[in-house]
Structure 1
Amino acid sequence: MSRSLDEANRELSRIRDMPYGLARTQAAERQVRLVEAEGPDRARAYALSVLLESMVWGGEVERSYLPFTQLVRWYDEHPEQFDDADRYAMFWSFKWMVGHLGEFPTVPAAQIEATLDDMERRYALAGLGRDAVAYARFAWAARRGAEDVEEAYRTWVATPRDDYSQCEVCDPGDRASHLFATGRLAEGVRLVEETLATGATCATEPADMLSHLALAHLDLGHRAEAARAHRRAVAALADATGEMAGARGRRVVLLGRAGAVARLVRAVEQDERLLLEAETPRARLEWLLGVVAGTAALLPAHADAAVRLTRVPAATVADLHGWAVGEAEALAAAFDLRDGGTALTTRLAEARATRPLDEPLELDVVALPGASARPVVDATGAGSDDGPDGAGADGDEPLLARAERLLADGSTEEAARAFVAASTAAEEAGLLVDAGYAAAEAARCAQVLGDDDTAAGLYAHAVARLHAGGAEPVQVVPVLVAWAPAAASAGTLPPYLDAVDAVRAALDGDDADGAPDPAGQALADRRRTERRRALADVDDAAARALATLGGDARTQDAVDRAVRAGEVYASVGAVADAAHAFWLAGRVLDTAGRPEDALHHLESAVEGFGLARDRRTRAQAADDLVALLRRTGQDARAEEVLEALTR
């Protein structure tokens, strides 16, 4: 018996609520097959739109052209089967296709221009605004470095916005990108800073515009502003949707020009996959151009700096530079051949000519307590002279209160410095636990600003002070959990793991204490549960940090800790946390080429998120489970998982 329209739409809407990824895309493909085979016809436009959207944002842009053509053909043949929402989605999808077709050098220019002409014709016939078409023509001209790009830019900027315009944050971001590309740096900086002041965000902004802003400030000689914009860009990248290859590439350029060798190497190592594969060939080229420029700035002084890559034949910065140049040359030539120009070959030459700043750029948010001569500044930028009593020179506002106020006001960098000052004052007063917590707060500020190197050092300092001050092991655990991602990113895992294992030993020792007096049994049970939860937390945090490293020994250690954490979480009723831990174990095992061992853990994760009623995270875990099942020939089981996601 076929489904009703309401039933089909309900299942499709559940797919739209899923995060982008393999599970969502394959679930959408399944729905398209069902609608085509069983109906109802009124659901076909919605099904194709959901599939198209899933592919575009799920990293399968090349495959998305098929459902797009099917959707347009269905509209031409059966416009009566489209409601207002279906029509809007169909016209909106032209923007994606015109924009993304140019990302593949194998797509002829004539096909792109024909699609753009068809978009313009259809928009005109439907009485729609012209802003989306004007932007698409400008973007196509800019992508290939056409002679008429400035005219296309002026036409787009002068066209009124309408219902099909891109979002109000991407719009100024793209205008600023063109201004930067054409040397109008001050104008671009002004536009970006005005946009940032609104606080508006979207899937890719403000990460993209901040990466442009950092380099523009560098070119203008604004060193402090460049460092601040860079930190904000790195922090925003963590929340952005998609690969953001261009923004990541610009991050590498700044690190190279700044002379930040270790940070550049880690950035490339963390995003190594983009060296070989990205959502589109153009995205890969943008990343490669960033790597070429960043490494060029380190040559010849740092040519022998070690690089640890697993899929690229490069052991040093010089090796990486040479390899990236070769890969970028081939891609740039392919695009230029298609586009009939030399725009990308010219950009590659410019990237190879990148040179470092005269002096390295200071990227640390703040120095460790007791090691900084920098003044603590308030939100207005004024300095202060704080005494060891924890109050400012005027005695009106204690240091810790000032730090918390600055943080609440959004002055995160100034708050970090104030927390460091508070930590120093507390230590001088003999309040080591207070000093440790203040240092941890400063570390968290640095983390938010994307400065994991500084954060890792501050967390280590904080934990040492907490131990010296006699803090309970349970009280140290939240700091260790926060420290984990910074330790992994900064490449300082050994001291982190030592600190974790020391706390684990202390917690295990507490758990082995003798039985309490019966009158205190309830309190003892609560404390035991608290200790067990803390043990799971540190195991889970350490497992996640270890999972960033290669090597069989590290892999097994990460799995053992994750499974141990999952079992303890489950024993104390923390079902969602247990699911996260088992998911991690499954991912690590699958990456290590052990799919049979990974399967059970991934299934446990999907089941656990289902019990916790966390539909979005369940779908994300199902991505990994479905991919494993497909790879191992278990298609029927994969279909069962996908069907369950839409129930």
Structure 2
Amino acid sequence: MSRTLDEVNCELMRIREMPYGLARTQAAERQVRLVEAEGPDAARAFALSVLVDSMYWAGEVEKSYLPFTLLVRWWDEHPELFDEIDRHSLFWYFKWMVNDLADYPTVPVAQIEATLDDMERRYALAGHGRDAVAYSRFCWAAARGADDVERLFQEWVATPRDEFSQCEVCDPGDRASHLRATGRLEETVRLVEQTLAEGATCATEPADMLSHLALAYLDLGRPQDAARAHRRAVATLAESKGEMAGARGRRIVLLGRGGQPERAVRAIEEDARLLLAAETPAARLGLLVDVVEATAAMLPTHGDLPVRAAGVPAATVAELHAWAVAEAAPLAAAFDRRNGTTRESDLLAIARAARPAPTPLDLDLGLLDPTRAPAGGAADAAATGAPTVDDAPVDDLAAAESALAAGRTEEAAQAYARAAAGAQDAGRIVDAGYAWAESARCAQVLADDATAHVLYARSVALLRAGGVEPQDVAPVVVAWAPAAATSGHADALVETADALVEALTGAAGDDVAPEGVALAQRKETERRRAAADLDDAAARVLASVADAAGPADRAVAEDGSLVERAVTRAARAAEAYASVGALGDAAHAFWLAGRLLDGQGRTQDAVWHLESAVEGFGLAHDRQTRARAADDLVALLRRTGQDARAEEVLAALSR
């Protein structure tokens, strides 16, 4: 029996609510097939739009061109079946096709320019403004290094905005990118600073423009300003959506050229997956060139610095540099052949000649020794915007909370450190422990995992010495876990987690009076939940280390391999979470175990754990995360020939 228009639209809306990924894309493909076969025709434009959107944002830009052409053809044949939303989507997608098809060297110039010409013609016929067309023509010229790029840039900037214009925050970010690329550093700084002062944000900003600002400051010989912009860029990058390969690459360049080799290596290791497979070939090439530039600056004095980037066959900075050059060169040549220019090869040559900045960056916030942090006097408070009372600064803890609420993470980190040191000197070790944990969290947000690890360890030691209950220390250890893994101290984290789990499991009290039974049961539930949190954190640290390690480093210890230990801890956490009714957390732990088992080739066990995760997220009414877990389940089922089960999973997601 054919579905009604309302029924189809409801299923499509559910798919639109799913996170981008394999499950969403295949669910959208399934809906397009059903609508084409069964109707109703009035749903076809919406179905194709959902598929284009799903493919594009899942990193399948090149594939999205096919459903886009089908959507255009359907518009030409049946414009009466497009409502206002369908029409807007169609014209909006033209920007995507023109701008991002250029990111694939296999897409010929003729196809891109024909699409651009068709876009301009259709916009004119529909009576739309020309800003999107002007922007797309500028982007295409910039991508291939055309002679008329500056003229087209000025034409775009002068074109009035309209309903199809770039986001109002992305617009100045794109202009700043061109200004910096053409050496107009002072203009870059003025534009970005003005935009930042307005406080607007979007999915990619201000992280993207801050990364340009930091490099502009560095090249202008303003290292302190570069350091501040870098810290803001890192903090906002964590909140941005998408891969953000450009901003991540510029972060690596800043650290490599700014005399921060260890931090540069850690940043490269964190983003190693993008060096192998970014969303588009252009994004991958850009990141490779950035790594070439950063490592070229590091070669004279740090060529032997160890590197452990998962999947990258390089053990030192020098080897990484050689590998990145070897990977980037043929890709740059492919783009240049398509574009008929030498732009990409020229950029690679410039990157290979990079040298360190004259003045290195100082990224030490003074958290390990708070006497180095700003003292917090009235003058300093006025300069940083910290609150004052009767011309005297408020106490450090209040100043920290105020700075954190205002987004001044660097200032908050320093104030928390001063508060912690003061409390410790006064013998208030529990207060000190919690303040150190807050300072550690700020350092973590600012990507200073080495400092965060030290401060978290200090915090836990003080809290335990102060007699804080193990279940109340557990959240600090969970927060510590990512910093411990990244900074190479996974063993310390796991050892601490083990000690707390042992304390929690041995903390059951003796018989209690009937009137105290409810309280005792609540306490026991809290302890079991905390033990599950610790097991889950330990599992994720072990999995992270295993993922970053090479095959030789995955040798089994006495109690099994890193992966086996992670699976055991994750499964134990899942069962404990389920026992206390934390279904969403149990699903996350099942999901981790399923991914790890899939990586080991244990298909049957992996499917069971991933199915448990999908079911658990459903019971927890978490549709977004359920769909992300379904990505892994569907991929595994497809890969092992279980297509019928995959279709069942996809059908369930849109119901």
Distance in 2 of aligned mates of 1:48 and 1:119 = 18
Match of 1:388 in 2: none
Distance in 2 of aligned mates of 1:249 and 1:411 = 24
**Aligned partner letter, 1:477:** A
Match of 2:566 in 1: 558
What are the within-5 Å matches in structure 2 for residues 608-619 of structure 1?
A: 608-619=616-627
User: Contact 1:256–1:356 (CA<8 Å) still a contact in 2?
Assistant: yes
Match of 1:458 in 2: 455
Distance in 1 of aligned mates of 2:352 and 2:120 = 39
Give 1:395 deviation, angstroms. 7.4
User: Contact 1:440–1:458 (CA<8 Å) still a contact in 2?
Assistant: yes
SS at match of 2:544: coil
Cα RMSD for the two superposed structures: 1.9
User: Contact 1:295–1:317 (CA<8 Å) still a contact in 2?
Assistant: yes
**Aligned partner letter, 2:261:** V
Identify which of 401, 404, 409 aligns with 1:404: 401
Match of 1:235 in 2: 235
SS at match of 1:347: helix
Given the alignment of the two structures, is residue 541 of structure 1 paired with residue 537 of structure 2, yes or no?
A: yes
User: Contact 2:172–2:192 (CA<8 Å) still a contact in 1?
Assistant: yes
Match of 2:365 in 1: 365
Structure 2's unaligned 5+ residue stretches are: 547-553
Give 1:381 deviation, angstroms. 3.5
Distance in 1 of aligned mates of 2:618 and 2:307 = 41
Give 1:328 deviation, angstroms. 0.9
User: Contact 1:15–1:24 (CA<8 Å) still a contact in 2?
Assistant: yes
Given the alignment of the two structures, is residue 635 of structure 1 paired with residue 632 of structure 2, yes or no?
A: no
User: Contact 1:376–1:417 (CA<8 Å) still a contact in 2?
Assistant: no
SS at match of 2:163: coil
Identify which of 504, 507, 510 aligns with 1:510: 507
SS at match of 1:298: helix
**Aligned partner letter, 1:637:** R
Give 1:401 deviation, angstroms. 2.1
SS at match of 1:167: coil
**Aligned partner letter, 2:632:** D
**Aligned partner letter, 1:178:** H
TM-score norm. by structure 2 comes to 0.94
What are the within-5 Å matches in structure 2 for residues 382-401 of structure 1?
A: 382=381, 397-401=394-398
CA deviation string 1:158-199 (max 9, x = no partner): 000101111111111101100111111111112112222233
CA deviation string 1:258-291 (max 9, x = no partner): 2222222222222222222221111110010111
Distance in 2 of aligned mates of 1:500 and 1:371 = 28
Distance in 1 of aligned mates of 2:378 and 2:422 = 20
User: Contact 2:278–2:284 (CA<8 Å) still a contact in 1?
Assistant: yes
Give 1:394 deviation, angstroms. 8.3
Identify which of 625, 628, 653 aligns with 1:645: 653
CA deviation string 1:55-91 (max 9, x = no partner): 0000111111110111111111111111111111111
Match of 2:373 in 1: 374
Given the alignment of the two structures, is residue 597 of structure 1 paired with residue 605 of structure 2, yes or no?
A: yes
What are the within-5 Å matches in structure 2 for residues 108-123 of structure 1?
A: 108-123=108-123
Identify which of 482, 486, 489 aligns with 2:483: 486
User: Contact 1:232–1:450 (CA<8 Å) still a contact in 2?
Assistant: no
Given the alignment of the two structures, is residue 445 of structure 1 paired with residue 453 of structure 2, yes or no?
A: no
SS at match of 1:547: helix
Give 1:371 deviation, angstroms. 5.6
Give 1:405 deviation, angstroms. 2.4
Match of 2:66 in 1: 66
Match of 2:261 in 1: 261
User: Contact 1:250–1:290 (CA<8 Å) still a contact in 2?
Assistant: yes
Closer, same or farther: CA 556–147 of 1 in aligned 2, 3 Å: same
Distance in 1 of aligned mates of 2:621 and 2:42 = 31
Distance in 2 of aligned mates of 1:162 and 1:204 = 21
User: Contact 1:562–1:581 (CA<8 Å) still a contact in 2?
Assistant: yes
Distance in 1 of aligned mates of 2:497 and 2:441 = 18
**Aligned partner letter, 1:165:** S
Which stretch of structure 1 is more off in the superposition, 239-248 or 425-434? 239-248
Distance in 1 of aligned mates of 2:598 and 2:72 = 39
**Aligned partner letter, 1:585:** A
Given the alignment of the two structures, is residue 203 of structure 1 paired with residue 200 of structure 2, yes or no?
A: no
Identify which of 521, 524, 527 aligns with 2:520: 524
Distance in 2 of aligned mates of 1:268 and 1:479 = 27
Match of 1:584 in 2: 592
Match of 2:629 in 1: 621
Closer, same or farther: CA 494–364 of 1 in aligned 2, 3 Å: farther
Distance in 1 of aligned mates of 2:220 and 2:144 = 27
Distance in 2 of aligned mates of 1:339 and 1:590 = 41
Distance in 1 of aligned mates of 2:220 and 2:390 = 36
Which stretch of structure 1 is more off in the superposition, 229-238 or 164-173? 229-238
Closer, same or farther: CA 352–242 of 1 in aligned 2, 3 Å: same
SS at match of 1:376: coil
User: Contact 1:305–1:317 (CA<8 Å) still a contact in 2?
Assistant: yes
Give 1:145 deviation, angstroms. 0.9
SS at match of 1:103: coil
Which stretch of structure 1 is more off in the superposition, 225-234 or 249-258? 225-234
User: Contact 1:419–1:439 (CA<8 Å) still a contact in 2?
Assistant: yes
Given the alignment of the two structures, is residue 85 of structure 1 paired with residue 85 of structure 2, yes or no?
A: yes
Closer, same or farther: CA 543–634 of 1 in aligned 2, 3 Å: same
Give 1:146 deviation, angstroms. 0.8
Which stretch of structure 1 is more off in the superposition, 493-502 or 97-106? 493-502
Give 1:379 deviation, angstroms. 9.5
Identity percentage of aligned residues: 67
**Aligned partner letter, 1:151:** R
Match of 1:387 in 2: none
Distance in 2 of aligned mates of 1:202 and 1:394 = 37
User: Contact 2:370–2:418 (CA<8 Å) still a contact in 1?
Assistant: no
User: Contact 2:269–2:308 (CA<8 Å) still a contact in 1?
Assistant: yes
Which stretch of structure 1 is more off in the superposition, 499-508 or 424-433? 499-508
SS at match of 1:297: helix
Match of 2:349 in 1: 349
Give 1:329 deviation, angstroms. 0.9
Distance in 2 of aligned mates of 1:450 and 1:57 = 26
User: Contact 1:176–1:192 (CA<8 Å) still a contact in 2?
Assistant: yes
SS at match of 1:300: helix
Identify which of 424, 431, 435 aligns with 1:427: 424
User: Contact 1:376–1:383 (CA<8 Å) still a contact in 2?
Assistant: no
Which stretch of structure 1 is more off in the superposition, 357-366 or 312-321? 357-366
Closer, same or farther: CA 622–577 of 1 in aligned 2, 3 Å: same
Distance in 2 of aligned mates of 1:379 and 1:69 = 63
Given the alignment of the two structures, is residue 155 of structure 1 paired with residue 155 of structure 2, yes or no?
A: yes
Closer, same or farther: CA 380–600 of 1 in aligned 2, 3 Å: farther
Distance in 2 of aligned mates of 1:293 and 1:411 = 30
Distance in 2 of aligned mates of 1:238 and 1:525 = 38
Give 1:393 deviation, angstroms. 12
CA deviation string 1:460-512 (max 9, x = no partner): 1111111222222122111111111222222221222222112112112213x
Closer, same or farther: CA 152–418 of 1 in aligned 2, 3 Å: same
Match of 2:551 in 1: none
Distance in 1 of aligned mates of 2:96 and 2:77 = 22
Closer, same or farther: CA 617–443 of 1 in aligned 2, 3 Å: same
SS at match of 2:444: helix
TM-score norm. by structure 1 comes to 0.95
Give 1:449 deviation, angstroms. 2.6
User: Contact 1:365–1:454 (CA<8 Å) still a contact in 2?
Assistant: no
SS at match of 1:466: helix
Distance in 1 of aligned mates of 2:190 and 2:297 = 27
User: Contact 1:15–1:27 (CA<8 Å) still a contact in 2?
Assistant: yes
User: Contact 2:231–2:410 (CA<8 Å) still a contact in 1?
Assistant: no
User: Contact 1:375–1:383 (CA<8 Å) still a contact in 2?
Assistant: no
What are the within-5 Å matches in structure 2 for residues 122-271 of structure 1?
A: 122-271=122-271
CA deviation string 1:215-246 (max 9, x = no partner): 11111122122112212222222222222211
Distance in 1 of aligned mates of 2:180 and 2:624 = 38
Give 1:541 deviation, angstroms. 1.5
SS at match of 1:471: coil
SS at match of 2:301: coil
